[in-house]
Structure formats: C-alpha cells, structure tokens
Homo-oligomer: A and B are copies of this chain.
Amino acid sequence: MRQLGRPPSDSTRKPTNERILVTAADLFLVKSYQEVSMDDVAEACNVTKATVYYYYKTKTRLYTEAMVGLMNRVRSKINYFLEEENSLYDQLVNIAEAYLHVATELDTERFMHSARNSLSDDQIKAIQKAEEAMYSGIEDAIREADEKGDIHTENPAFAVRAYIALVKIGLYHNADGESLFNDKENKAKQIVEFFWRSLEK
C-alpha cells in the first residue's frame, strides 16, 4: 500500500485529478453509470476511493465532468477533420471512419438515460450542451454547404443527428456477431453515401 499523506511530487505524471477524469470517462464509456463504482474508478487510477472523493465530491459530479470532458475532446477531433481542405463529403467520410475505429459507442442518449435519474437538472443540461457543441461544427458545415448550393436540406439540425445515427449503425453486430457490412473496409464510405443521397438536390 501507498504511504499516508501527500506523496513526493512527481512532475512527470499528469495531475491526479485529470487522470481520474480521463480514466473515469473510459470506464463510463464501456459500462453504464450504475455499473461503474467509485471503487472501480479508484482502482483504475491507482488511488484510493477517498482520493477520488477529494477531487470530485459526488459520483454525479465526477460523471458530469468526465462526460463533458470526453465530449469536448471528441469535438476537437471532429473540428480538426472539418478544418481540412476537403469537400464536406470527404470530411464526413473521415469523421465516420475515425468514429468507427474507436469501436466503443459514444451513445449520448444512453449516457443520459442511465444517469438521468441520478443527475441534477443542471448536470443533465451541462452534458447536453456539451453534446450539442460536439456536433455543432458539423451542423455549421452542412448549413454552409446548403447555402452554397452544394446540397439541399431543410433541417440541418436533423441532418446532423441523422448522420450520427447512421454512422453508429456501422458498429452494429447481430446476434451471431456479424456486421451488417460485407465490405468492412468501406463501411464509412457506404454509410456516408447512403446519407448523402438524402441531401442531393
């Protein structure tokens, strides 16, 4: 066991509170809010439960901050792809590809549902705002393309959600463990193609 009291400073390591946040986010991605115990988080971080509580006063706070942090990181990645000199179509393929490579589903509906009864209204809102921010880059890009006349859509907000929902299907495996796609390499491309057809003029 670790010694009691403040440990000797180690500037090479990331600060503990950040480590906890990232680790917790990882766990909450795979298991649901209720399934991840504070003990689990502590153990995964190599600290004691009390240390987790030192930084995050309640489990709901930890959850909220972990989720918001995670979504912000994803937003950065998405926006990175959107800043490349590319057609919107190609950008969407890239994002989809990246998404499908992460493999674990970033299902915000699920996040909210499993935690909704535990979180406070403010916490729910904070996560939802982060989620909307995550996708707002895509929405802007779609709106822009619509205004330029490259595509046609009457409801860009819906279009984004549609895009996200379709991409997620790429991760689906049926009861026998088979994907819906024979050609796994081109999953992303096929999905975006399907989506894109709804936007063509």
Contacts and interface: CB of A to CB of B under 8 A. Distances in A.
Contact of A129 (B113, B155, B165, B175): B175
B166 A162 contact: yes
A150 to B, nearest CB: 16
A161 interface: yes
Nearest to A156: B180
Contacts of A195: 198
A170 to B, nearest CB: 9
Contact of A161 (B155, B180, B200): B180
A19 interface: no
Among A31, A125, A158, A180, the one with the most B-chain Cβ atoms within 10 Å of its Cβ is A158
Interface stretch (A8-16, A64-72, A79-87, A103-111): A103-111
Q: Report, as a range, how many residues of chain A touch the other chain.
A: 35 or more
A59 interface: no
Contacts of A125: 175
Given A32-B114, A114-B114, A161 B157 contact: no
A194 B190 CA distance: 17
A3 interface: no
B31 A117 contact: yes
A76 interface: no
A43 B87 CA distance: 57
A194 B161 CA distance: 12
10 contacts: A32-B34, A32-B114, A34-B34, A35-B117, A114-B114, A158-B180, A165-B166, A195-B198, A197-B200, A198-B198
Interface of A: 31-32, 34-35, 105, 107, 109-110, 113-114, 117, 125, 128-129, 132, 155, 157-158, 161-162, 165-166, 168-169, 172, 174-175, 180-181, 190-191, 194-195, 197-198, 200
Nearest 10 interchain pairs by C-beta:
A128-B175, A34-B34, A165-B165, A197-B198, A161-B169, A158-B180, A32-B114, A110-B110, A157-B180, A194-B198
